[in-house]
A and B are shown apart, each in its own frame.
Chain A
């Protein structure tokens, strides 16, 4: 109590510092975990690291290079320094540094995940609100069964169905890829942020933007299916729970219309769990896109990971794992800090 009054800024700073240190610790743990996956779990790490088609000489070279003959502690340290310097190993498949490969593909995946999440939020939150408003009625039942179905539908299957139906049979949208070569050749996009669609919009390149959007729409819809489902459920349950709170009943007793009671007052109580859920969904969707990209041949991290898996390209698979885990950690940290900023009580817990 006293602490809270003595200075509003202080607990917030302490909380931010604590969260950051914890996240750094977990990041360190994740690096060690990927090290274990890459070099301890396989029975022949050098063979795995060099690829299935490597010769004996090549394997011996890789063994020496990775330092697999040295003590484990020493190996971990050199792996850690390598990773922190940006040396994530060479891809067996492309023969390029893994980190370079990853960073060229990251923007496409981020674009896809962000688009999917925007659609998911835009559908999920209103759906949850309507379900709560007419709780127990037809709308509620529709939203609940819809949410159940879209959470249970296998991503890759939904992707295949939509691809076949909308792109292939009805010919409404492109079947695969992230852009049309002819369009991009005539209207190249200037890089501003790195996200192709956003760049095309920012530079006023309408033709390219339309083409990128056409290619993005179907995969993004598939990515959105799960976020929409969980968000709808969460918003519905949070609002129904909030309705029991005294201040909501007070607002109701004052005669505010139900739309305002739920949409303005009850929804506010749902923001915190929604924010937290958004970070989780981000991590989930980041990986879910792997399956979507594999179907739509969308050149992002997932396409890269699927190819890497197929050819047992361990450095690449481990690299993807590390990058996504770090992104996910960063997203979680950002959400925690945003939450503490919005609701100072969080920092005092």
Chain B
């Protein structure tokens, strides 16, 4: 039983790491890999409207005659990049707030955590939707809106981890040795919170991508002719019954990337914390 679990774990690890690497490569090399790079944005080719998948156009062409395969490849430079940016900034903001709350405790903790509660009381997709509506539509507005909704999760996580080590003897030793707050926090408290944070972050890139694509689908993200996956699915709506390839491939791309992120999170967690029981955390 043990051996079988370990072997399953290795397959998952290879899948997750290989998948993540492939996605990064596609995003970096999109201009080289795409057969029709100019189709990613402008170019309309009226002679090639709505062609089904063929050798020349693997994923067919869309209502403006653009190559869907090229656009899907270029899409790897939009949604996933927004997701990584959101998670990175949220991680930094959330970590600072969480560490301060957990380390100092008292009224600072109370104040920061009640603030966090307020943000957590509004489901992420909804808060981001409201914010994206009042901000200018586009990838930047989308990133800002999602970051505002995402940091509280890290703040709460880091606060918990911090509070759990603050009472330990080695932190007391740091104090007794006369280390400053900053040094104690950065060198001794934070490293202990980094594993659960990393696990959460890799899973969250997938979660943020799903929410971002959803907002994009509602028209709150990048605007046409950007080859964003969510937007492409939205634009395919009117043609879906008769031209399935328009929306199917961009949607599959979202699922693939989100799936790889979730798998990566699982694999990392299994490595570092094999006895883990998922606690209810909200994804979106």
Asked if A84 lies at the interface with its beta carbon under 8 angstroms from chain B, I say: no
User: A241 contacts B5, CB within 8 Å?
Assistant: no
User: B255 contacts A154, CB within 8 Å?
Assistant: yes
Interface class of chain A by DSSP: helix
Asked if A26 lies at the interface with its beta carbon under 8 angstroms from chain B, I say: yes
Asked if A136 lies at the interface with its beta carbon under 8 angstroms from chain B, I say: yes
List the B side residues contacting A169 at CB < 8 Å. Answer: 241
List the A side residues contacting B210 at CB < 8 Å. Answer: 152, 154-155
User: B241 contacts A325, CB within 8 Å?
Assistant: no
Asked if B222 lies at the interface with its beta carbon under 8 angstroms from chain A, I say: no
Asked if B272 lies at the interface with its beta carbon under 8 angstroms from chain A, I say: no
Asked if B129 lies at the interface with its beta carbon under 8 angstroms from chain A, I say: yes
User: A148 contacts B134, CB within 8 Å?
Assistant: no
List the A side residues contacting B220 at CB < 8 Å. Answer: 309
Using C-beta atoms within 8 Å of the partner chain, give the interface range for chain B: 35 or more
Asked if B219 lies at the interface with its beta carbon under 8 angstroms from chain A, I say: yes
Chain A 1-40 interface 0/1 with B at a Cβ cutoff of 8 Å (1 = within): 0000000000000000000001001110110111001100
User: B248 contacts A237, CB within 8 Å?
Assistant: no
Asked if A305 lies at the interface with its beta carbon under 8 angstroms from chain B, I say: yes
Q: A-B pairs with CB below 8 Å: how many?
A: 173
Q: Are A26 and B121 also in contact (CB < 8 A) when A169-B241, A321-B130 are? A: yes
User: A149 contacts B217, CB within 8 Å?
Assistant: no
Asked if B135 lies at the interface with its beta carbon under 8 angstroms from chain A, I say: yes
List the A side residues contacting B185 at CB < 8 Å. Answer: none
User: B259 contacts A325, CB within 8 Å?
Assistant: no
Asked if B282 lies at the interface with its beta carbon under 8 angstroms from chain A, I say: yes
Q: Are A156 and B217 also in contact (CB < 8 A) when A237-B277, A312-B133 are? A: yes
User: B258 contacts A33, CB within 8 Å?
Assistant: no
User: A149 contacts B129, CB within 8 Å?
Assistant: no
12 A–B contacts from the bound complex (CB under 8 Å):
A32-B118, A42-B134, A149-B259, A154-B217, A157-B254, A237-B276, A290-B125, A290-B214, A310-B218, A320-B130, A325-B121, A325-B126
Closest CB pairs A-B (n = 4): A157-B251, A29-B118, A152-B259, A152-B258
Residues of A within 8 A of B (CB): 22, 25-27, 29-30, 32-34, 37-38, 41-42, 48, 135-136, 141, 148-149, 151-157, 160-161, 163-164, 168-169, 230, 233-234, 237-238, 241, 273, 276-277, 280, 283-284, 286-288, 290-291, 294-295, 305-306, 308-310, 312, 314, 317-318, 320-321, 324-325, 328-329, 332
Further 20 A-B residue pairs, CB within 8 A, beyond A157-B252, A283-B123, A287-B284? A27-B121, A30-B118, A32-B118, A136-B4, A148-B262, A149-B255, A152-B256, A152-B262, A155-B210, A156-B214, A157-B255, A160-B236, A284-B284, A287-B126, A288-B125, A290-B129, A314-B134, A320-B126, A320-B130, A328-B123
